[in-house]
């Protein structure tokens, strides 16, 4: 049986707790802590006095967009159930250098154990959200920014959630929730994209969304005629897409099924504005999840008197 789609789409992305469930969130964080901790923290257990209390401040060292604060908080609670965590911002918020984002008070050894896992989650996801926000800003509302399946294995739900926090949208979650006919499928099927799209439509029915990847104008027109919901214009220049878009919309106008046009393939941050002006509805960007640099955040520990 195919897995069901997690609730991290643009329609339901209010929290990771909702997506994973409270037990799922804690289990994920606890497993991450265990990976780091192993048999024990050799340094803190010998260098830090037993029972010492600290307050730690989470401070932004760069401008960016936050994502993953629930994971950050849960890491400290897993290690010290009596810790006090005050979140001074929420996922999706923009932060500036020097801005205090959270405060954690609790057992010193436990906070040091949780620190790296908490920051790893938060910095990586905030990096995804920050890069997404940059793409969204440059697209200027002319086209929507979507992620892809180019995610870190087992972290897809988290990374796609971070894309939403940055103002982007989720493409299909996996192989099971939307058909996407790519060049390899077309080549292996041994038929043209129009015929293949029509065949897939006939087998899956009207209720399943189909994206067909087109390498040239002929394939794009064939995808429209074959009944694709989305025609993905792959690795085309802005000039090529701008010339193609009006004709594709005209071709789709009489078929009784809405069409979306998507640009994909090597769309860098510097080029997304030009692509967004071609008339496409959406731009999918693998870099949002596979190449986003971590947002620079620091946890500053202060010893309590």
**268-274 contacts: CB < 8 A, separation 24 or more?**
269/131, 269/134, 269/135, 269/138, 271/238, 272/135, 272/138, 272/139, 272/145, 273/138, 273/139, 273/140, 274/238
What pLDDT was estimated at residue 305? Answer: 62
> How far from chain centre, in Å, is Cα 100?
24
How far apart are alpha carbons 128 and 271 in whole angstroms?
Answer: 18
Q: Point out the catalytic residue in the list 91, 234, 262, 281.
A: 234
Query: Would you say residue 11 lies in a domain?
Result: no
Asked, for residue 6, whether it belongs to a domain, the answer is no
DSSP E strands in 140-259: the ranges are: 144-146, 179-181, 210-214, 230-234
Residue 9 is assigned to a structural domain of this protein: no
5, 26, 53, 116: the catalytic one is 116
Query: Rounded CA gap, 52 and 60, in Å?
Result: 26
Query: Following CA atoms 19, 205, 143, 272 in sequence, which dihedral angle do they give, to the nearest 10 degrees?
Result: 90
- The dihedral built from the CA positions of residue 135, 140, 143 and 144, taken in this order, carries a sign that is positive
Supply the pLDDT for residue 299. Answer: 97
β-bridge mates for residue 214, sequence order = 233
Prediction pTM value: 0.93
Same domain, 81 and 155: no
**Structural domain tally of the chain?**
2
> Is 107 one of the catalytic residues?
no
Task: Name the residue among 272, 246, 278, 240 with its Cα closest to residue 259.
Answer: 246
In a domain, 67, yes or no: yes
5 phi and psi angles, rounded to 5 deg: -75, 125
CA 239, CA 278: separation in Å to the nearest integer? 8
Same domain, 83 and 26: yes
Q: Check which CATH number belongs to the domain holding 190 and give it.
A: 3.20.20.70
Catalytic, 239? Answer: no
Q: Which two structure tokens, joined as six digits, stand for 57?
A: 């401040």
Q: Which of 127, 151, 114 is nearest to 35 (CA)?
A: 114
Residue 10 domain-assigned?
A: no
Inside any domain, residue 8: no
Q: What is the pLDDT of residue 297?
A: 98
pLDDT at 6: 43
Tokens read off for 114? 């949780």
Asked if 262 contacts 282 with a C-beta cutoff of 8 angstroms, the reply is yes
Task: Tell me which residue range forms the domain holding 228.
Answer: 140-290
116 as an active site residue: the answer is yes
Report the CATH number at residue 299: 3.90.1170.20
Exposed, middle or buried by CB within 10 Å (0-12, 13-18, 19+), for 275?
A: buried
Let me know whether 27 and 144 are in one domain: no
* Set 182, 239, 255, 257: catalytic member: 182
Is the residue at 264 inside a domain? yes
Q: How do the pLDDT tens digits run along the chain, 305 residues long?
A: 333 344 433 444 478 999 999 899 999 999 999 999 999 999 999 999 999 999 999 999 999 999 999 999 999 999 999 999 999 999 999 999 999 999 999 999 999 999 999 999 999 999 999 999 999 999 999 999 999 999 999 999 999 999 999 999 999 999 999 999 999 999 999 999 999 999 999 999 999 999 999 999 999 999 999 999 999 999 999 999 999 999 999 999 988 889 999 999 989 999 999 999 999 999 999 999 999 999 999 999 988 76
Q: Give exposure, 140-169, as e/b (b: 16+ Cβ within 10 Å).
A: eebbbbbbbbbbeeebbbbbbbbbbbbbbb
pLDDT of residue 266: 82
Same domain (yes/no): 282, 299: no
Q: Is the domain of 154 the same as that of 249?
A: yes
Beta strands in 108-229 (DSSP E): 144-146, 179-181, 210-214
Q: Of the residues 213, 219, 262, 281, which is catalytic?
A: 213
169 and 285 both lie in a single domain = yes
The verdict on 298 and 263 lying in the same domain is: no
163 and 185 within one domain = yes
Are 269 and 138 spatial neighbours (Cβ–Cβ below 8 Å)?
A: yes
Tell me whether residue 103 is one of the annotated catalytic residues. Answer: no
Q: Both 101 and 35 in a single domain?
A: yes
Same domain? For 157 and 49 the reply is no
* Same domain, yes or no: 149 and 283: yes
Partners of 211 in the β-ladder: 180, 230
Catalytic entry in 150, 215, 225, 249: 150
- Regarding whether 76 and 145 lie in a shared domain, the answer is no
Q: Note the pLDDT tens digit of each residue in 59-70.
A: 999 999 999 999
Domain annotation covers residue 4? no
230 SS3 class = strand
Can you give the pLDDT at residue 270? Answer: 96
Token digits for 87?
């979140």
- Told to judge if 282 belongs to the known catalytic residues of this protein, a careful annotator would answer no
């Amino acid at each position: 049986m195919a897995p069901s789609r997690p609730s991290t789409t643009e329609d339901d992305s209010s929290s990771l707790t909702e997506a994973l469930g409270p037990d799922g969130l804690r289990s994920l964080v606890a497993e991450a802590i265990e990976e780091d901790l192993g048999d024990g923290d050799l340094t803190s257990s010998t260098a830090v006095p037993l029972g010492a209390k600290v307050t730690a401040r989470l401070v932004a060292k760069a401008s960016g967009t936050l994502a993953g604060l629930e994971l950050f908080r849960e890491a400290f609670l897993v290690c010290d159930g009596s810790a006090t965590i005050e979140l001074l911002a929420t996922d999706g918020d923009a932060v500036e250098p020097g801005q205090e984002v959270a405060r954690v008070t609790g057992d010193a050894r436990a906070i040091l154990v949780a620190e790296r896992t908490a920051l790893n989650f938060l910095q990586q996801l905030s990096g995804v959200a920050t890069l997404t926000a940059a793409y969204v800003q440059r697209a200027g509302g002319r086209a929507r920014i979507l992620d892809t399946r180019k995610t870190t294995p087992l972290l897809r739900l988290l990374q796609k959630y971070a894309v939403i926090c940055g103002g982007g949208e989720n493409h299909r979650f996996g192989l099971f929730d939307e058909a996407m006919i790519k060049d390899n499928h077309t080549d292996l099927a041994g038929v043209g994209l129009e015929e293949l799209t029509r065949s897939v439509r006939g087998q899956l029915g009207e209720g399943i969304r189909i994206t067909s990847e087109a390498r040239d104008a002929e394939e794009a027109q064939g995808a429209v005629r074959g009944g694709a919901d989305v025609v993905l214009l792959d690795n085309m220049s802005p000039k090529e897409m701008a010339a193609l878009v009006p004709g594709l919309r005209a071709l789709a106008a009489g078929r009784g099924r809405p069409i979306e046009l998507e640009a994909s393939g090597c769309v860098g941050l510097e080029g997304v504005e030009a692509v967004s002006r071609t008339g496409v509805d959406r731009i999918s960007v693998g870099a949002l999840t596979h190449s986003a640099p971590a947002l620079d955040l620091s946890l500053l520990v202060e010893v309590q008197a």
